[in-house]
């Protein structure tokens, strides 16, 4: 009889784990337990009767690197190849990105001209920041904040404006609290390898490639910056669920994990002669498995562990997450003042507003069949949610909508009221890799190994917050697990 693997959490990480388990030469019995009424986690898309698509979570995936290639291979295997909407390298959404600072929009420098002369909002040519990096001594600390790292290598202005905004766009986080080693490992390793970030990136290490497919070759040839799906990003989760059902994977919604134990008597650290099978307590009964794959956020997993695993729970509780309000707006009869992917806002300009994405520019296919329209997404809060809007669980949708509309009016000059709006507050949706995160994850791995626990941890809490990272963490954990099970 094949072993049983219980996957807890039905977001993209949990679905990807089930996908890789189902494709094993000798697949185990797999059941997926999801607390909510739906699968897909933060992959959430609203499709209107007019054919418009509004993204409430990730709105595109980058194709680069081994992880990007692997995701595109998965898309092909799921039969979604014809639904892919690419953004090629010569597209305005690839070439044009903006910052809003000093009460104005500024295009981020690109090409030689932006390096050789000062381009607002920067007071000096970025060439000098590059020279500073080439001359600066290598850092000696095992970790430092993203802000401190960039200030040391490229100067105060690049750290305060560009990197502050970037961290808000990627992590909805504060670059003064985030770890460069964990958030931007390529930059950290480049300095360690070549003493200069620019030299390290240019000379690089040999890049691995994932499983090649026609899509990944096309993405390289056309220099895609990102891609989406015709039905929105939630289509990826739906296709995974359909794939899994066809292969006999049990998918259970409304199945919240209440407690995880090692044995019926509650023992967690078992002597060798004990049965190590974990027991999962749900609201309506108990499930026994040979191995558990947790795709839960770190803090949520900490709450269901037994007292014997308190050292693990303590480490998990030290991986915080921030909340983000996502406000989708649709306007008719308007024109954007600029064309590009969108703009970010440094915390010094407006802490409450992370940025605005110009969805219609990258993916006009999602605009719908009605009157020509402009779709925007305003991102609010993040690490500044509490000070800006109070408790995320009690934030008033009307206040968030008002704030989003005001930002669009002030920063993009759209005076008319939107014809359509959707407000979502995603509580604790983006983990924050703060200083020392790499040590926390090492201690977590060591505890699991030393206690020989039949438990794998995957998802955004540990080694990357992007969709690609989540899928990659699931693939790696399943590869290791299959070696243990057989």
What is the token pair recorded at 36?
Answer: 């909510």
87 closest CA partner among 212, 218, 207, 235? 218
Which pLDDT belongs to residue 6? Answer: 98
19 Cβ partners below 8 Å, 6+ apart? 74, 240, 243, 244, 474
Per-residue pLDDT, 485: 77
Beta sheet of 257-261, edge-to-edge order: 257-261, 279-282, 285-288
How confident is the model at residue 207, as a pLDDT? 63
Q: In whole angstroms, give the CA distance from residue 384 to residue 134.
A: 34
- The reported pLDDT for the residue numbered 264 is 53
Residue 24 DSSP SS3:
coil
Q: Beta-strand (E) ranges in 56-163? A: 84-87, 98-101, 104-107
For residue 205, the model assigns a pLDDT of 65
Strand partners of residue 357: 342, 377
Classified as helix, coil or strand, 373 is strand
Entry pTM: 0.94
Return all residues near 429 (Cβ < 8 A) that are at least 6 apart. 42, 57, 321, 322, 323, 324
15 near 247, Cβ under 8 Å? no
Would strands 279-282 and 257-261 be described as parallel, antiparallel, or unpaired?
antiparallel
pLDDT in tens, the chain (486 residues): 899 999 999 999 999 999 999 999 999 999 999 999 999 999 999 999 999 999 999 999 999 999 999 999 999 999 999 999 999 999 999 999 999 999 999 999 876 666 788 889 999 989 999 999 999 999 999 999 999 999 999 999 999 999 999 999 999 999 999 999 999 999 999 999 999 999 999 987 666 666 677 899 999 999 999 999 999 999 999 999 999 999 999 999 999 999 999 765 545 554 444 556 899 999 999 999 999 999 999 999 999 999 999 999 999 999 999 999 999 999 999 999 999 999 999 999 999 999 999 999 999 999 998 778 999 999 999 999 999 999 999 999 999 999 999 999 999 999 999 999 999 999 999 999 999 999 999 999 999 999 999 999 999 999 999 999 999 999 999 999 998 876
pLDDT score, position 273: 45
């Amino acid at each position: 009889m094949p072993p049983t693997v219980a996957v807890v959490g039905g977001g993209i990480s949990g679905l990807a784990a089930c996908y890789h388990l189902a494709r094993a030469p000798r697949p185990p019995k797999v059941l997926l337990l999801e607390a909510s009424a739906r699968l897909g986690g933060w992959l959430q898309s609203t499709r209107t009767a007019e054919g418009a698509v509004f993204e409430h979570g990730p709105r595109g995936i980058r194709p680069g690197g081994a992880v990007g290639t692997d995701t595109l291979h998965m898309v092909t295997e799921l039969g979604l190849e014809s639904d892919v909407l690419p953004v090629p390298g010569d597209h305005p959404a690839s070439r044009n990105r903006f910052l809003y600072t000093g009460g104005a929009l500024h295009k981020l420098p690109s090409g030689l001209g932006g390096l050789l002369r000062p381009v607002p909002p920067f007071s000096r040519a970025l060439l000098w920041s590059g020279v500073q990096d080439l001359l600066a001594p290598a850092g000696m600390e095992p970790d430092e904040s993203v802000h401190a790292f960039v200030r040391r290598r490229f100067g105060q202005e690049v750290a305060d404006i560009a990197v502050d905004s970037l961290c808000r766009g990627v992590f909805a986080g504060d670059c003064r609290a985030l770890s460069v080693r964990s958030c931007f490992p390529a930059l950290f390793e480049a300095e360690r390898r070549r003493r200069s970030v620019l030299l390290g990136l240019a000379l690089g290490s040999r890049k691995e490639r994932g499983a090649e497919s026609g899509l990944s070759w096309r993405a390289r040839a056309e220099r895609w910056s990102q891609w989406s799906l015709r039905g929105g990003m939630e289509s990826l989760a739906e296709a995974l669920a359909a794939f899994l059902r066809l292969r006999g994977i049990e998918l259970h919604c409304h199945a919240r994990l209440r407690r995880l134990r090692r044995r019926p008597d509650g023992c967690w650290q078992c002597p060798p002669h004990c049965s190590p099978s974990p027991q999962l307590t749900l609201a309506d009964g108990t499930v026994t498995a040979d191995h558990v794959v947790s795709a839960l956020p770190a803090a949520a997993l900490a709450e269901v562990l037994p007292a014997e695993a308190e050292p693990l729970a303590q480490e998990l509780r030290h991986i915080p997450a921030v909340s983000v309000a996502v406000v989708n707006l649709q306007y008719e009869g308007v024109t954007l003042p600029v064309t590009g992917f969108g703009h970010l806002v440094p915390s010094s300009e407006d802490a409450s507003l992370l940025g605005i994405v110009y969805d219609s520019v990258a993916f006009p296919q999602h605009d719908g069949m009605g009157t020509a329209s402009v779709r925007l997404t305003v991102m609010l809060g993040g690490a500044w949610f509490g000070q800006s809007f109070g408790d995320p669980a009690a934030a008033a949708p009307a206040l968030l909508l008002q704030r989003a509309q005001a930002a669009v009016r002030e920063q993009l000059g759209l005076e008319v009221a939107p014809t359509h709006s959707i407000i979502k507050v995603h509580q604790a949706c983006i983990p924050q890799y703060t200083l020392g995160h790499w040590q926390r994850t090492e201690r977590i791995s060591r505890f699991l190994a030393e206690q020989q626990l039949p438990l794998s941890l995957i998802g955004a809490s540990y080694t990357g917050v992007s969709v690609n990272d989540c899928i990659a963490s699931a693939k790696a954990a399943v590869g290791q697990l299959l070696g243990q099970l057989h």
